């Protein structure tokens, strides 16, 4: 949701809280779409310091549907969100100046979803596992080895080695 910052102009040196809806339904990471599972708003704190700076902060977690990198079972991914912004105020105009040089303010409105989306990408886990010791899928029969113990010979896993064996076996048959 976008928040109209003008309402904080006249309220100096008081801490104000505001519940803001998060209009994010999904996120695409590395070409894969993930639906959001929760529907929770974020509570943001606003503090207008002497009419010069507007400090904004808030924390929440967003949860998304995903699948285990090894066994492909459904997994919930929780991404922590921590927003904090120091917005300059000059002649009733707001300006954002942060390390990334990103500006989430347009016509006095703060794009909270945009800020949260950036945090989602930043906090997305590099590896998604259903459990740390997930056994994954059998490369031969494709069964989930967390659920079934198969008797497949999985000694040869390197696909280049597999190709070599194919050639070797077919030349034997001739």
Q: Does 148 interact with Zn ion (rule: CB under 5 A)?
A: no
Residue numbers 32-91 binding Zn ion by CB under 5 A: 68, 70-71
Secondary structure E strands in the chain: 2-4, 15-20, 26-29, 32-35, 42-49, 53-67, 74-90, 93-96, 105-106, 109-111
Q: Does 105 interact with Zn ion (rule: CB under 5 A)?
A: no
- Span interacting with Zn ion, options 52-60, 82-90, 91-99, 148-156, rule CB under 5 A: 148-156
Minimum Å gap between C-beta 161 and Zn ion is 17
Q: Does 135 interact with Zn ion (rule: CB under 5 A)?
A: no
Minimum Å gap between C-beta 149 and Zn ion is 9
Secondary structure E strands in 91-167: 93-96, 105-106, 109-111
Minimum Å gap between C-beta 65 and Zn ion is 15
Tokens 């009419």 belong to which residue?
A: 51
127: DSSP letter: S
What residues form DSSP beta bridges with 47?
A: 15, 55
CB-nearer residue toward Zn ion: 34 or 70:
70
For residue 111, which of 124, 94, 129 has the smallest C-alpha distance?
94
Q: Does 130 interact with Zn ion (rule: CB under 5 A)?
A: yes
Q: Does 156 interact with Zn ion (rule: CB under 5 A)?
A: no
* Contacts with Zn ion, residue ranges (CB under 5 A): 68, 70-71, 130, 134, 138, 140-141, 150, 152
């Amino acid at each position: 949701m976008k928040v109209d910052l003008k309402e904080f102009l006249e309220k100096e040196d008081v801490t104000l809280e505001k519940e803001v809806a998060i209009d994010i339904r999904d996120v695409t990471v590395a070409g894969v779409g993930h639906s959001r599972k929760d529907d929770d708003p974020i509570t943001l704190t606003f503090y207008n310091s002497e009419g010069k700076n507007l400090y904004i902060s808030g924390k929440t977690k967003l949860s998304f549907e995903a699948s285990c990198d090894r066994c492909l079972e459904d997994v919930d991914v929780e991404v922590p969100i921590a927003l904090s912004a120091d917005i300059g105020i000059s002649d009733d105009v707001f300006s954002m100046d942060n390390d990334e040089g990103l500006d989430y303010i347009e016509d006095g409105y703060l794009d909270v979803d945009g800020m949260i989306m950036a945090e989602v990408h930043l906090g997305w886990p590099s590896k998604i596992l259903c459990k740390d010791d997930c056994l994954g899928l059998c490369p031969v029969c494709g069964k989930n080895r967390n659920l079934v113990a198969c008797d497949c010979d999985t000694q040869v896993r390197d696909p280049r080695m597999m190709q070599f064996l194919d050639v070797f076996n077919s030349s034997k048959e001739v």
